[in-house]
Structure 1
Amino acid sequence: MEIIKAAHLGFCNGVKRAINVAKTHAPCLTYKELIHNKKVVDGLKNEGIYPVHDLSVVKSGDNVVIAAHGAAPSDFEKLARIGANVYDATCPMVKKVQEIVREYSTKGYKIIILGDKNHQEVQGICGFSAETPQIAADFDEISLEDGEKFAVVTQTTFFEEKFEKIKEKIQNIISYTHKIVVFFNTICYTTMAKREEAKSLAKRCDAVVVISDRSSANGNRLYEFAKSINDNTFFVSEISDLQSVMISKYNTLAIMAAASTPDELIEEVLSFMSDTQNEVLENATENTATEEVTEVATAAPEAGEMAAAADAPAQSAKTELTMDDIMASDKAAGFTTYREGKRIHAKIINADENGIFVEIGGKKDGFIDKSEVNIDGTYNPDDFKAGDTIEAVIINKKGDSTYVTLSKREIDLVKKNDEEALKAFESKEFTVEPPLKIVKNKEGNPVGLEGRLGAFTVFIPGSQIRIGRVNNLEDYLDKKLRLRMLQKNGRRVTASQRVILEEEKAEKEEAFWSTVVPGAIVKGKVKRFASFGAFVSVKGYDCLAHISDLSWKKISEPSEVLELNQTYDFIVLKADRETGKISLGYKQLQKKPYELAAEKYPVGTVIKGTIARIHPFGAFVQIEDGIDGLIHVSQISHKYVKEASELLKEGQEVEAKVISFEGNRITLSMKELEPAPEEKPAREEVAPEAADGAESEVKSKAPRAPRKKFEYNPEKAEERKRDRRDNSDEPHEWVSDSGNATLADLLKGIDFKFDDEENK
């Protein structure tokens, strides 16, 4: 089988650049996945690089990398308001599309984007349009009704053939109108090159393997394109995807990969295919040899000698053996050899108390000593009948010249080991005894480890040793790995420890996320510091305690509160399983400064402090770092003080007494520490006689008796009024209370009497 690799394999330049930017500024966050490859994204988490989908979780001072697919201007603005450190790793090809949309949208063009509306790149491009653009996957989804001028751009992974067809149809429509449509083929040149290669290879080869993550738009489109040309196209995201593919039946096989596919996965697939190809050859040779040995054991001596010649190294069917070739071969006809370790199907001649005599072909017979018959050492001659066939192995060709010494026991041990190995392969977990050896590809690059279990060769690809990349395979040569079979091909088994570790990790994660909920108290070990907080390991998971959640006081470094490699209690503030991000708080479990102050400075305590701020209503005194108390203007002095600044100034050291503590408010008093002014004596009165100059007695004014509380009773008031009227001797006349009465009417009939003539 010939394996043909595409020239363009592995990360494109845009992806490489994005990863380098993230690693340079790690630990950091990436806005959405850096690239669409789950393995790569999970691997980057081990380096402190975590994706976030919601910018509300970002805090001031965080390092945030914009992924290769870009983001909308509004996202950049939001990050600026938060105060994050932003590093733009947008692919240059994507930036080109964004600038075209911005320019033509500003000129009044309606924007049409050809691509996937749910793709991160397309969503970011939309943000550069002044109005909501149209997003279409095909011509039928495009409308030219609302507008006169249109600009058409493409997602960088869009199909070029489809773009040209859409362009042609739009041009046919607008040829009968006055509408203007400008087209921009913004498909990535790397994508176009990959598809040209795919087109060529899919036509040339019997089968095609596309290596990519399922979430990659680039990989899915590459697969669809190759599949449209060659029906024998297979999508591979894991080596296990090749289990159901009988690649050995194809003569030529093409290998392609998406722009987001890591080199490690490509190498593993190539190595796996190479090993499978070699196994096919080994199986073919082994099967041929087995058939030939069987013929030697069962044919007549002459035929056996002739058949033994077939046990010679395989040669081309078209090449004739010369006599020199035959004589040079120790397996040539008439010269049967008895190589130690050779497995033979032998025919029983007879069995006695000493052992079993067998016919093995050639000029000599074989003998199996009774100690070499069964594994457990037992032997019964009656169990072995003449004419029956048994399998044995040559253990000593230099013994008795009459017989070849054989062992059935050794063959039984091998068979038993094989049965145990097969059971192990069918189980969920098995091990291979070290030491292991490193396997390299044709280029000499290490691709995995190899060991033996029974008569089986077990291959462990480098990516299947652990979760994440293995930098040095030599570190694992003497380790006993926990393995599970991925594929069995003859006597070669491909196995993985990673699948077991991932299962355990998934179980551990399930248990972890079910208990780590907001409000839960957890123990965490401080692993490393960053400017924006501390990374804490909780049951093996990396969590972030932001610097603002470490102390009630303002701090500049996490190390002011926590120590590396120390374990503390934390409270879970937020847990997002989708993004894998957990926010922890430390200060929430500590007493607030004013709670500590309440214990340290109870009411009545005299404190010393510095005037920190002055307001008309009073002055704030800094008792200690982070704790202030208020001296109200009325508590500064026993004298009347209009404003605090009359007696106090900032920076002045004062003594004051704690007079109340309500919540986080401490009230202080300076006048409580000053003596109260003396009370004035009671006021005295001088007797009237003192006015004439005579001696008078000074009398103290007697205290006034308290007044009786007056209660108004309308009935009694009316009764007293009637009594006064009835008992009066003065003449009077009742008149109407009409509003039309004049003064004369009111005075009519009144008898006025005067005491002197002058007033008459």
Structure 2
Amino acid sequence: MSEEKRGIADAENGGTTETMADYARELEASFRTIREGDVISGTVIDVRETGVTLDLGYYAPAVIKTEDLSRDPSFSVLADIHVGDTLEGTVVKRDDGAGNIQMSCVEAAETLGWDRLKQYQEEKTILKIKVSESVNQGVTAYVEGIRGFIPASQLALDYVEDTTEFVGKTLEVRVITVDSDRQKLVLSAKDVLKEKEVERLNHKISMIVPGTVVEGRVESLMPYGAFVDLGDGLSGLVHISQISQKRLKKPSEVLTVGDTVRAVVLNTKDNRISLSIKAAAENAEPDELEEKQAEEYSSKEAVGTSLGDLLKGLKL
């Protein structure tokens, strides 16, 4: 039967006319060569307790056994993998004896995972991970199928004594150490938390209106002035010229660590809070020249209330 007559017959029978386009996928698959050791990806078309089946766009499907999907002890094939997901794996066998290509995600992780982790480290990528278990001095989690370690000192802003409370929790982390030769991967949640704390402090400082009267506790005395704890992680600098009406040789002449003081906010430039106790005591605007002196002095990086100075009080 000619192609034309076959098409007419198909149409009369409610079918559709087949063309070369209908065979494009099959033709592509027939010319494609898959070898053992290749790292390829496919779409999940079936999920079972024993493993998953992938569509590779090839004449044969691929199977990945459950034990070859992940090393993570908390991994559950039915809960963590769904039809439509894309998985990447290494070809272990071209024929598993049942006409399927056998693959392994675990082997692919060993091949590609370390390169990706290095890239995450260089780009300071924030990753979401699930803590797998508590171990000596920290916890473990898996990234790209590779077991990573989060030290207790890197779990939170403060040191964590009991790491078991983090098991099963999802954390945002950054990669801080990658060493494929030593099979060493170290992650940090603290690094991400510190950045968010900086953003929070920046926002709070930006909301402070110059001229506002604030109250705080003197937390430290320096030759050039006093740092005042304003609460909620914020700290301000009172330049020595803004402590008292009389000229001082050193702040300790009138102030002691722990004193509660009232001060006027002079400025919040560059996320540094400059204060004047003198202006608050006088209930008047600070002298224009002295305000300029305090502003210039507080803007010096070495002595200003930079975010680094502010975070010192947080015991990060």
TM-score normalized by the length of structure 2: 0.47
TM-score normalized by the length of structure 1: 0.21
Q: Per residue, is there more strand in 1 or in 2?
A: 2
Q: Which has the higher contact order (CA 8 A, sep 6+)?
A: 2
